[in-house]
């Protein structure tokens, strides 16, 4: 069976374009300004799998000269409509050959690797990102934790998919984004920490630091599992 990226769909792209940083998504992006400030030197950034551009716009607000790229034409069209002055590029099949070696100080990937189905494809993209990084550059890889597919959240539900509990590395899992008007399930690929570390090593990268953000009681959200179970994992990577 061919794995189809859920975001290569015009109706879903339209719904996703309205999404910014609500609820559980807030935890994915809350700490990025501090993480980027702590680990990145320079201001040239690539947003890999930019979708409708929310993470690209965040990078620009933080002072980066950012370029957003995505394989889904529907997403790039929405990004350009939302941000006419932004820089967005369609990269069919994830082809990044338009960018020269040692171009970027940072490569941000927010949820992109949740939709890349095999170790070989993950390694191929990570190796390309390593090529594009300057010597002091960093990759910030934000991914869903395996636990996100097993619990209930402020912005997600998985209760209709008990089969997620049997999923192993590389298996498809389903989740519904309750923060969207479009309530169709999203199909992701589950990938545990030890397996990410393996593909990082094979891509010529090493882990500098790992963040697992949790919700706090003083935040203006009705957290469900977020205060005790991290829904996201943020890896900071450098070239070996």
Burial class, 47, CB count within 10 angstroms (exposed 0-12 / middle 13-18 / buried 19+): buried
Question: Is 105 contained in some domain?
Answer: yes
Give the other-Cβ count within 10 Å of 128's Cβ.
18
pLDDT at residue 11, rounded to an integer: 43
Q: Is the pLDDT of residue 181 over 90?
A: no
How high is the mean pLDDT of the chain? 92
pLDDT at residue 20, rounded to an integer: 56
* Structure tokens belonging to residue 27: 């935890």
Work out the average pLDDT over 132-152: 98
* Structure tokens belonging to residue 8: 């290569």
Tell me the pTM.
Answer: 0.90
Give the span between the Cα atoms of 16 and 12, in whole angstroms.
6
pLDDT at residue 12, rounded to an integer: 41
Work out the average pLDDT over 126-155: 98
Give the span between the Cα atoms of 173 and 219, in whole angstroms.
29
Question: Is 5 contained in some domain?
Answer: no
In the chain, how many domains are there? 1
CATH code of the domain containing 136: 3.40.50.150
Contact 213, 26 (CB under 8 A): no
Question: Is 27 contained in some domain?
Answer: yes
Our CA angle for 227, 161, 199, nearest 5°, is: 70
Domain that holds residue 77: 10-146+192-239
- Per-residue pLDDT tens for 80-107? 999 999 999 999 988 999 999 999 999 9
In the chain, % of residues over pLDDT 90: 88
Burial class, 27, CB count within 10 angstroms (exposed 0-12 / middle 13-18 / buried 19+): buried
Q: Is the pLDDT of residue 3 over 70?
A: no
Question: Is 170 contained in some domain?
Answer: no
């Amino acid at each position: 069976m061919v794995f189809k990226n859920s975001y290569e769909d015009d109706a879903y792209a339209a719904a996703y374009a309205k999404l910014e940083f609500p609820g559980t998504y807030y935890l994915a992006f809350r700490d990025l300004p501090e993480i980027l400030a702590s680990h990145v030197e320079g201001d040239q950034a690539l947003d890999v799998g930019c979708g409708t551009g929310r993470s690209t716009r965040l990078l620009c607000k933080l002072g980066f000269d950012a370029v957003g790229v995505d394989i889904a034409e529907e997403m790039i069209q929405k990004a350009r409509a939302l941000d006419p002055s932004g820089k967005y590029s369609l990269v069919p099949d994830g082809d990044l050959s338009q960018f020269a070696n040692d171009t970027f100080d940072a490569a941000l990937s927010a949820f992109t690797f949740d939709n890349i189905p095999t170790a070989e494809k993950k390694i191929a993209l990570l190796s390309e990102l390593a090529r594009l990084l300057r010597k002091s550059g960093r990759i910030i890889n934000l991914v869903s934790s395996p636990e996100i597919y097993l619990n209930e959240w402020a912005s997600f539900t998985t209760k209709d998919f008990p089969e997620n509990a049997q999923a192993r590395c590389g298996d498809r899992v389903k989740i519904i984004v309750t923060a969207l008007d479009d309530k169709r399930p999203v199909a992701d690929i589950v990938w545990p920490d030890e397996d990410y570390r393996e593909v990082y090593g094979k891509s010529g990268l090493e882990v500098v630091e790992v963040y697992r953000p949790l919700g706090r009681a003083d935040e203006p959200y009705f957290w469900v599992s977020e205060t005790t179970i991290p829904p996201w994992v943020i890896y900071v990577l450098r070239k070996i």
